[in-house]
Structure formats: C-alpha cells, structure tokens
Structure 1
Amino acid sequence: MTDARALLETRKSPKVFDLTTPGPTPAQIDEILTIASRVPDHGKLAPWRFIVFEGEGRQRAGELIAGIFAQDNPDADSQRVEIERTRLSHAPVVIAVVSRATPHAKIPEWEQLLSGAAACTLLLLAAHALGYAGTWLTQWYAYDARVRAAFGLSENERIVGFVHIGTLARPQEDRPRPALTDIVTRF
C-alpha cells in the first residue's frame, strides 16, 4: 500500500502548456479508461462516458471550438482565435468525461454527476500511476451547447471535464495546500 500512498501524495495538476509527448499508448489509454470506469456508481448506471481526443482528432476538435468562438466574437484577432484552436492540442491525449445523468427513481441525478467527477479523478490517478501527468479543465466550450453537439453529445449530456494527459516537459512545484485546521470540522 505504500506505493498507492505515494501515488496519492505526489499527484498534482500541471499547466497544460507543460504537457508534451510522449503520451499514453492506445493500450495505456484503454488501461486508464478501465481504471476510471471503476468509480462508485450507485445502481450500476454508468452515468458517464468518455470521448478520447488524440492525433489529428485534437486539431479537428480545435477547429470546431475556434469556429464557434469566432462566430461569437467576430472582432477577435487571429491570435485569440488561435488560442481557441489549440485548446485540445497541448497534451498528446485529452479525454472528455461526459455525464449522462438522467432522472431515476432511486438514484438522484446529483449522485450520477458526482460519479462522473470521480471518473475524472481516477483518470488523473491512473495516468499518474503510469508515469504521465494530467490536468482536469473545463473552460467555456465545455458548457456551450453547439460545441457539445459538435462533439456528439445528446441534449441531456454534459461535459464534466477535459482531462489532458502527457509527459511533463519540466519539473513541477507543488502548490500550497490548505491547512487541515482551515478545512476540517470534527462533530
């Protein structure tokens, strides 16, 4: 169990600009996704699914994001549009976690959504266990109905997050963590 503890104690989220190649292999991506699917899931509903953006799929997704951004911001300069175009291109692999929470007689939608958030966390931990780094982001395009539709989401599906996975380009400093006295109450 010491290895698991070390894994949990050392995982951190780098900036996406600090993620580079190599990324996980297809077999490693499958392993990461298999681990992520082991989250708590009241009722065994699997109220989430994954979209893997890799290779030129990242550029195609970026074109969709940039196109919608440019449509909404016609005065944006080309540099700003390029930022949107490269949103999913910094890390070699980006995995979107999609919540498909629906009304259920026994399992609240909130619990289903939280199961999707837990899947994001396990994606990060699984990537870290394989020697990669990962960052969980959303950004505006996660909430835009046109982007969700372009990515193949149904009207009732939502993006919980985009998990960017790659190799660290440089060592990372840890951020300050909250003191337990500031976040813990004993009842």
Structure 2
Amino acid sequence: MQNDIKLVDYLRARHSTPVAQIGEPGPSGQELEAILTLASRVPDHGKLAPWRFIVYRGEVRRQLGETFLEIMMHDSPDLTDAAREAELSRLLRAPVVVAVVSTAAPHVKIPEWEQVLSAGAVCLNILMAANAHGYAANWRSEWIAYDNRALAALGVKPEEKVAGLIHIGSSDFPVPDRPRPDLADIVTFAGEDRS
C-alpha cells in the first residue's frame, strides 16, 4: 500500500486477497513485530488483552499439515488425493500464518462477549496493519479452528478459541471487489421518521 493513500481511500477499497493468491515473500521478523504491535491497539474494556498470538512460519506449517491430514484420515479414510493435498498445504498457502487466540473468560466486571469482540477487532487490525506494510492478508478459520485435536496441535489451550487464522504474504493478483450490502438494508435510524 502506498504511504500517501489516505485512510478513507484505503477503507473504501479494503478487501481480502484470496488465500490461494498469497505467496512469498512474507513479512520479516521486524515487520511482523510491527504488524502485531499495531494489531494489538484495539478497544479492550478493562485492559485485559483477552487474546494472544501464535505465529506459524517455516517448517512447522508443513508439520501441522501432516497432523491435519492424520486427523482427517482418521475421520474420513477415503479422502481424495486433492483433499489430502489440501490438508498438507493448509498452512503453506501463505509464508506467515498468525492465529489470533481468544482468551475470553468470565470476569467480575467485563462481559465475556466484549472480550470476544476485542479479539475480532485484533483480527481486522492485523489485516490492515499487514496491508499498511505492503502485504496481502486473509482472515480464515476453517475446520481446524473448531476441532479439539487440531487446536491442541496448533498450541491452543482447551479453554481458548481461535478468533482467526490470518494468512500474510505477497500478491500481485488483481482482486475485484465483491458486492457490498446496501445501507438501506442494514441501517435503522432509531426514533426517526426517514420517509
């Protein structure tokens, strides 16, 4: 993203690059630290930081793919070759994948729902921070975010949830915008007669 683009112009054109179109190079260690630092600047009632990051890059992504394939083969032994390859490459589609892990829990003062929303805000901030550093990004979840065996392999604790798996890398693929909702269909003005 060009540094001279105004925020309103960026937001007007913001989109997610399809994960299949993301490749090398990914952010350096220093760039990733900057991206995650920016991402953590979200609304956070009570300053709980009810989320954490797990970064997957390098060979661990391939090893996790082998684990995902084992899990799928246990459940569906007749997987096609294409389905097997999809599991093996699930985290190889981008050079860096960041799990945003929600650590939301009951709290005497802060509703758990607000903690979950904060984790969602972190996911969107990672997308925007990655874009600001010139990288493409995509927010995914997929079955691995909901399977206890896969979650354990990913390093997610039983009491935690994956808010998103953010794939970060580079792309020169032109992404057409998708249809967006018409404001008339999603906005209500309380107490106003809009006729």
Q: How does 1:68-83 map onto structure 2 within 5 Å?
A: 68-83=71-86
8 Å CA contact retained: 1:95, 1:164: yes
Residue aligning to 2:139: 136
Shift of 1:2: 6.3
Which of 181, 184, 190 is residue 181 of structure 1 equivalent to? 184
Q: Deviations over 1:38-89 (max 9, x none)?
A: 1111111111001111111211221121111111111213321111111111
Aligned residues: 187
Q: Determine the structure 1 residue equivalent to 2:193.
A: none
- Radius of gyration: which is bigger? 2
- In structure 1, how many angstroms separate the alpha carbons of the residues matched to 2:140 and 2:5? 29
**2:164 paired with 1:161:** yes
User: What per-residue deviation string (whole Å, max 9, x for no partner) do you get for residues 137-181 of structure 1?
Assistant: 111110001111112221100111101111114111111111111
Is contact 1:7–1:128 with CA below 8 Å preserved after alignment? no
**Amino acid across the alignment from 2:171:** L
Gaps (5+ residues) in structure 2? Answer: 191-195
* In 1: Cα distance, 2:94 partner to 2:68 partner: 16
Q: State the alpha-carbon separation in 1 of the partners of residues 154 and 11 from structure 2.
A: 32
User: 1:47 touches 1:116 (CA, 8 Å); kept in 2?
Assistant: yes
Q: Percent identity?
A: 50
Matches within 5 A, 1:8-157: 8-157=11-160
Give the aligned residue type for 1:57: V
How well do the aligned residues superpose, as a CA RMSD in angstroms? 1.4
What CA distance in whole angstroms lies between the structure 2 residues aligned with 1:153 and 1:19?
Answer: 25
Structure 1 unmatched runs, 5+: none
| Cα-to-partner distance string for 1:85-139 (whole Å, 9 max, x where unaligned) | 1111111111110001111001111111111110000000001111111110111
TM-score (normalised: structure 1): 0.95
Q: Please say if residues 7 and 129 of structure 1, whose CA atoms lie closer than 8 Å, have aligned partners that are also in contact.
A: no
Distance in 1, matches of 2:75 and 2:40, equals: 36
Deviations 1:1-29 (Å, cap 9, x if unpaired)? 96222222222112111111111111110
Secondary structure at the aligned position of 2:108 is classed as coil
Poorly superposed stretches of 4+, deviation over 6 Å: none
* Partner-residue secondary structure (3-state), 1:101: coil
